[in-house]
Amino acid sequence: MSTIKRAEAGVATRYRISHHTQYNYQLPVSLSQQLLHLQPRTLPWQHIHSAQIHCTPEPQQRTSAPDAFGNPALWLDIRQPHQELLLSAELDISVLPRAMPNFLLSPPWQDVVERCRFRGVALSHPEQLDALAYRQESPYVRIKHDFARFALPCFGADDTLLTGVYALTLKMYNEFEFDSEATDVGTPLLTVLEQRRGVCQDFAHLMIACLRSLGLPARYVSGYLLTEPPEGQPRLIGADASHAWVSVWCPHFGWVDFDPTNGVLPDQQHITLAWGRDFSDVSPLRGVIIGGGEHTLDVSVTVMPVSPSRPGQSQSQ
């Protein structure tokens, strides 16, 4: 597994990211309607210099609007026959260091569970209503006693919320092995828990299931990760991949990110695309087609760091 390095404090790290997707169909497709989550969110620690999305064939209609979770989304309507669909996202992004919360100053985890029990009365904080949407089951995440039992040793009776969540992050990092051949998108989380193997999407879903099974709001975050190639080897074009991690709602702190795949709190190496209840809400590309028959899919991602710059310092495009 690649290691993650912290950038110099206070310095913005700039990235140029290419995400290419190619579908080849056995038969002509007469109609294709696609929903894309390939444009990153603008965040206090993340500035978007440019985000260009190209499609071949050219769609007859392009509609940009935030989705139900506030993510930038693009709808494409392609009405001309085609047997090949090419989608390309070219991104230019700067990421600042994030302020790391003091875990010991977060509230007790059991108090947060109690606070997030919906009783049909007015909520004390508007963020709490948003958080409750991430406390329930979703298409890829079930609430089960098995997940709660796995997570509970990380949450002592007197532990704060963020202390417990970080302990769970490290538990998953130490006990699970990254294995791209062990699972697919349909593998049940109970199987992932039993086998202790999977990919970042599995680990994010499993950690979310553990937290929700304890009564804590947690959401799925999709994005990219800057990884270091093995020593002595060059960074390869197209060899990177999308990444996924977890965000937990904490009163007074807001949403705090954790990466169970790498056992860290996301910082400048994590580029945020979108968030939702699970992968089904933020899939980079999904849609419906008429025709096509069998198809092949090829995805290529490149995350290329550019020389760092101080906040507010411009660089030539």
Domain ranges of the chain: 14-96+283-307, 103-281
| Residue 312 pLDDT level (bands cut at 50, 70, 90) | very low
Identify the CATH assignment for 103-281 out of 3.10.620.30, 3.30.365.10, 1.20.1090.10, 3.30.70.100.
3.10.620.30
Range from 6-10, 145-149, 206-210 carrying the lowest mean pLDDT: 6-10
pLDDT computed for residue 227 by the predictor: 79
DSSP-assigned states of every residue in 201-225: HHHHHHHHHHHHHTT--EEEEEEEE
| Residue with the larger pLDDT of the pair 255 and 231 | 255
| Residue 226 pLDDT level (bands cut at 50, 70, 90) | confident
Tokens of 284: 């980079």
Range from 12-21, 40-49, 107-116, 221-230 carrying the lowest mean pLDDT: 221-230
- The DSSP letter of residue 105 is G
Q: Name the pTM for this structure.
A: 0.90
Quick check: 5 pLDDT over 50?
A: no
**14-96+283-307 is a CATH 2.60.40.2250 domain:** yes
What does the alpha-carbon distance between residue 39 and residue 272 come to, in Å, rounded to a whole number? 9
What does the alpha-carbon distance between residue 64 and residue 66 come to, in Å, rounded to a whole number? 7
- The DSSP letter of residue 160 is B
Q: Which amino acid is at 259?
A: D
pLDDT computed for residue 117 by the predictor: 82
Q: Please compute the mean of the pLDDT values over residues 223-247 and round it to a whole number.
A: 79
pLDDT computed for residue 8 by the predictor: 45
| Residue with the larger pLDDT of the pair 47 and 130 | 47
Q: How far is CA 294 from CA 20, 55, 77, 207, 300, in A?
A: 20, 21, 21, 34, 21
What does the alpha-carbon distance between residue 30 and residue 38 come to, in Å, rounded to a whole number? 24
Q: Is 256 exposed, middle or buried (0-12, 13-18, 19+ CB in 10 A)?
A: buried
